[in-house]
Amino acid sequence: MNPLTLTTNTFTLEHGTTPISGNVTYVGVTATFTPSTDLIPNTVYRAMITTGVMDLAGNAMTSPYVWRWITSTIPDITKPVMSSTTPANNATGVAINSTISATFNEVMYASTLTTATFSLQKGNFPVSGKVTFTGMNSSLYAYRQSRGKY
């Protein structure tokens, strides 16, 4: 496509009859319209690419291309918090072979719970271990450094 013909005049986005402002970019064979602001949840939008766009030989599209979709419901913007930990904060007399666990107030992405984001330290020294995750509960199985066991 001729990138000079892919503009906000030839690639538009609308909510009803209200135009949505944004930017158009073109890389390879993909044109992208990026709205200036977030779209409204649970709303019908219409995008259109007009016959004003042309390929590198100057050929225009024979007819406009129009497509519609509905955005999802209101996104979850509430940050997760810890609902409990085992052992509890400032607990004493905890067994040396305990599993350390944290429970969140909502389901988490398992891929974000790693030894980089869930760690255990003895003073300033990290304790090696393995992170596991089920639902809202993440556990760190710490290896005892002296024996290399759980």
Taking only the tens place, the pLDDT of each residue in 42-65 is 899 999 999 999 999 999 999 999
CA 88 to chain centre: 31
pLDDT of residue 135: 66
Report strand pairing: 11-15 vs 44-49: antiparallel
pLDDT of residue 114: 84
| Calculated CA dihedral for residues 32, 35, 38, 41, nearest 10 degrees | -70
Q: What is the mean pLDDT of the chain?
A: 86
Contact 49, 74 (CB under 8 A): no
Contact 78, 46 (CB under 8 A): no
pTM: 0.51
What b-and-e string marks burial along 11-47, b requiring 16 or more CB atoms within 10 Å of the CB?
A: bbbeeeeeebeeebebeeeebebeeeeeeeeeeebee
SS3 112: helix
Q: CA-CA distance, 49 to 51, in Å (whole number)?
A: 7
pLDDT of residue 12: 96
Cα angle 80, 83, 86 (rounded to 5 degrees) comes to 125
Domain ranges of the chain: 3-70, 82-142
Q: CA-CA distance, 19 to 28, in Å (whole number)?
A: 26
